[in-house]
Amino acid sequence: MSQADEVHMGDAHPDYETPLPARYNFVLYSHYAYEKEDFAAHNKGVPAGELPGVLNLREHLRGLKELLTTPGHEGLLVLFYGIGFEEFVSAMGTDDAARKAHLLKHERLKFARIIAERVRQDMKDVQLSDRVRFMTPLDLEVILGDVKNILKEHLGEYF
């Protein structure tokens, strides 16, 4: 990858301990597909730190750290945990207060927040919070929160 292709970032996200490093040689994006299993286990009382998806991610932390921090080949991993996306989309196009109330009432979105907090803490614990971004539909509110009604009607067609 040439220097012109590198991703440059710098500002800290409020949910992360450190700002993004100044340089990445690659960015990996992936859907983290444990939502159904995790939500079912959560509804049976399994704590967030013991859910199948969280445990699976923990098993791969050493390898992820090696992959993302190899000198000269540093990278960023963005994992999207999509549970609650439908509920999120249904709130688009509403006024700010109605949207926030809508987003706070759905169990799947509440669950997404719980998992994000757990995974983000795990990343901090192993010094990967500057290399792994765990995103949920709630993180998309900054980008899509004020989307117009007409776009809202068609957004579901694409996701």
User: What residues does each domain of the chain span?
Assistant: 26-158
- pTM for this predicted structure: 0.75
Span of 7-11, 46-50, 125-129 with lowest mean pLDDT: 7-11
Q: What is the pLDDT of residue 7?
A: 36
Angle at Cα 109 formed by Cα 101 and Cα 47, nearest 5°?
Answer: 130
Is 9 a residue whose pLDDT tops 50? no
Residue 97 has pLDDT above 70, yes or no: yes
pLDDT value, residue 1: 36
Measured CA to CA in angstroms, residue 62 lies from 7, 45, 67, 123, 128 at distances of 24, 28, 9, 11, 10
Query: First-to-last CA distance in the chain?
Result: 31
